[in-house]
Amino acid sequence: MESFPMEEKQNKKNIGVIGGGSWATAIIKMLCENVNSINWWMRNEDSISHIETYGHNPNYISDAELKKEKLNISSDISSVIENSDLIVLAVPSAFLKSTLNNLNVSLKEKIIVSAIKGIVPENNTIVGEFIHNQYDVPYKNIGVLTGPCHAEEVALERLSYLTVACSDVEKAEFFANSISGRYIKTNVSDDIYGTEYSSVLKNVVALASGICHGLGYGDNFQAVLISNAIREIKRFVDKVHPINRDIKESAYLGDLLVTAYSQFSRNRTFGEMIGRGYSVNSAQLQLKMIAEGYYSVKCISEINEKLNVEMPITQAVYNILYNRKSVRKEIADLTEKLN
């Protein structure tokens, strides 16, 4: 049996990834650059077989080359978690609860990193709070992975920056080092609330950006929309968790910009379909991927009923998607509230 010095044993952690979509696949690709063995849970047996044979995910960012010899892929989630010390959650927030319902092992002693940019709808909580409340994981063992970064650009190995947040900065640094590489640069933060809520809200803003683009609003208006949006995000995160943070940092403003403007943003694409007259159902069917902002805007609006933060952009998107108000009129009303 291989022997390690005590310090090296403490630093040597087995990493598992939960999820089989674009972002999970991108995280696996990043980990493959630094980690010798990665546990990976995905539901689809055909996808598992394809990746083990060809080293590509057939359904998501299939251009991403994966080092299949480093992957231990399984559809048994309990086995993956049992054999991992640090677990990265990368499933849509709407499906997190049902995914973890099948667990028959404890998460309590694990380090959990949320790569989910959404709110658990059954509980109206961010993923970190959900994991803490439901699985008794201490906050010092909960981290958040946030952008600005799209899975598609990771597949293309374009230079990208990521932030890992955890109240225990050493744990954040461990995971940041595990994904860093020649095309991935990382920062660490201790602001798990601000980074996670900001990553949720930027998806809502991206919906608004897409809706406005679909209606024919131009770049001049988009600049005003996004400058108002970062202030809206700041008001909300400062109310939820008031600490000294610089909202202009990449984890906040940068993540907002890439999600609101990028051609790879599924939330912007979903919003653009709504602006062009698609129904919610038809837009979801055509997109074929989860737009987290659709679920998040409802959760944020319900949370804000108690907080009473001024959030005109969020309210406009909620009115369009859930109150079925006129898209054109709602955005016209919104334009009068921005400056």
Task: Return the pLDDT at 332.
Answer: 98
- What is the reported pLDDT for 1? 29
- What local confidence, expressed as pLDDT, does residue 6 receive? 31
3-class state of residue 76 by DSSP: coil
Catalytic residue IDs: 202
Q: In whole angstroms, what separates CA 235 from the centre of its chain?
A: 21
pLDDT higher than threshold 90 for residue 2 = no
pLDDT, tens only, 139-171: 999 999 998 999 999 999 999 999 999 999 999
Q: Residue 203: CB partners within 8 Å, gap ≥ 6?
A: 117, 118, 259, 267, 291, 292, 293, 296
Contacts of 213 (CB under 8 A, 6+ apart): 222, 268, 271, 272, 275
- Answer whether 13's CB lies under 8 Å from 35's CB: no
The region of weakest confidence among 13-27, 42-56, 118-132, 210-224 is 118-132
Average pLDDT, the chain: 93
Distance in angstroms (rounded) separating the CA atoms of residues 40 and 28: 8
Q: What pTM, to 2 d.p., does this model score?
A: 0.90
**Is the per-residue pLDDT at 203 higher than 90?**
yes
How do residues 252-307 score in pLDDT, each as one tens digit?
999 999 999 988 899 999 999 999 999 999 998 888 777 889 999 999 999 999 99
User: What pLDDT sits at residue 9?
Assistant: 36
Rounded distance, CA 181 to CA 87, Å? Answer: 20
User: How far is Cα 80 from Cα 99, in angstroms, rounded to an integer?
Assistant: 13
- Residue 4 is predicted with a pLDDT of 29
Q: Which residue has the tokens 């051609």?
A: 263
